[in-house]
Amino acid sequence: MPLQGRRVLLIVTGGIAACKVPELVRLLRKAGAAVRCVMTGAAQQFVTPLTLSALSGDKVYTDLFSLTDEAEMGHIELSRDADLLVVAPATANLLAKMAHGLADDLASTVLLATDTDVLVVPAMNVRMWEHPATHANMATLRTRGVHVIGPDEGDMACGEYGPGRMAEPEAILEAIEHHLAAPAGPLTGRRVLVTSGPTHEPIDPVRYIANRSSGKQGHAIADALARLGAEVTLVTGPVALPDPPGVRVVAVESARDMLEACRAALPVDAAVFAAAVADWRVAASADQKLKKQPGAETMTLDLAQNPDILATISGLTEGRPALVVGFAAETERVVEHARDKRARKGCDWIVANDVSAAAGTFGGDANTVHLIAGSEDVDSWPPLSKAEVAERLAHRIAATLGSAAS
């Protein structure tokens, strides 16, 4: 039983997805975990405390001001007497409370009082999930190290379709197992930084400069490294991808934000810069939406160079990772341009890939890469899925760091 002896505090909030929680409790108990539940008042409209108490074999806590509960297990102890706090379903309301530090019921108070890792499983209407306020709250929580699984996309009880469905109990269990029972691997004890996705450089409050990167390759690399035991920090631009299990995710928007987050993640043993960072930004983005000017057929934007994240980290004299890996997204003369980039940036390896329209790399699930580890050292891999590329690269990194340690 992979979770034998581990303790999970399950916080259940109000929403139709709460009907999936009894199955999650059953799976956790079957895997060996001890489960204790906290329920909000709204959650009790969908599932009874008696149901979860019977399945968990423990008392269910519902009231912040229960004198009996406080005498037996005060909310401070409740928040810390667990190896992991899981919020499922996590409603927009509770996520907002977490982001803003509110504590007006037992669930939000427990979350504010804890110093234990937290995994949230969002579930809400698609419009609520896509609202800018929810996006901002999720970005805040990710920055604070809160782990996220889902939401899934599909039909909803309200009749709409889109992202917002709570992840299935089996997927939640897998994420919990990964977090609490990750097996030792060749990268256990190693810290790795990975960047992923595009950056968005604002033109005005509603427009931005971006590129077609989906983040699939960077996220796959972070996942592969974590499964080898590494402590991974994933700094990602805006993507429509779930967070890899067991990975600390820092969500950013611009290149300058990404550089700041990368600096904050140091020191690390290795850094993989897979993000497609915009080379240019608008020198002075507008505070208000730019309007068409009568009679003007063109508009000129003054662009300024963005910071070079790969070159900056590669050139550090103190705190430089032992291994720095860059990516070269090229549309022609792929290996030649990648060799030149490796020399200019000062990184150890370059992973070169063809991102021309015919290759279908941006947004697709396959990749053809060349690993350049020296001026004449080129390892051309066959066409592989992005997950397979990530696996190969992760094992190569593990072997290199292992050799350096010995």
Instruction: Give the residue numbers annotated as catalytic, written as ranges.
Output: 158
Q: Is 291 annotated as a binding residue?
A: no
Distance from C-alpha of 355 to C-alpha of 106, rounded to nearest angstrom = 51
Q: What letter does residue 65 receive in the DSSP assignment?
A: T
Q: Is 289 annotated as a binding residue?
A: yes
Task: Judge whether 52 and 39 are in contact, CB under 8 Å.
Answer: yes
The packing angle between helices 132-143 and 92-100, to 10°, is 50
Q: What letter does residue 49 receive in the DSSP assignment?
A: H
Task: Judge whether 276 and 213 are in contact, CB under 8 Å.
Answer: yes
Distance from C-alpha of 204 to C-alpha of 371, rounded to nearest angstrom = 38
Q: Which residues contact 37 (CB under 8 A, 6 or more apart)?
A: 9, 10, 11, 12, 25, 49, 52, 53, 56, 58, 60, 61
Q: Is 345 annotated as a binding residue?
A: yes
Tell me the residue type at 71. A
Q: Is 307 annotated as a binding residue?
A: yes
Compute the CA torsion angle 74, 78, 79, 80 (nearest 10 deg). 110
Q: Is 308 annotated as a binding residue?
A: yes
Q: Is 309 annotated as a binding residue?
A: yes
Q: What letter does residue 3 receive in the DSSP assignment?
A: T
Q: Is 16 annotated as a binding residue?
A: no
Distance from C-alpha of 183 to C-alpha of 177, rounded to nearest angstrom = 10
**Residue numbers belonging to the annotated binding site:** 279, 289, 307-310, 327, 341, 345
**Residue numbers belonging to the annotated binding site for CTP:** 279, 289, 307-310, 327, 341, 345
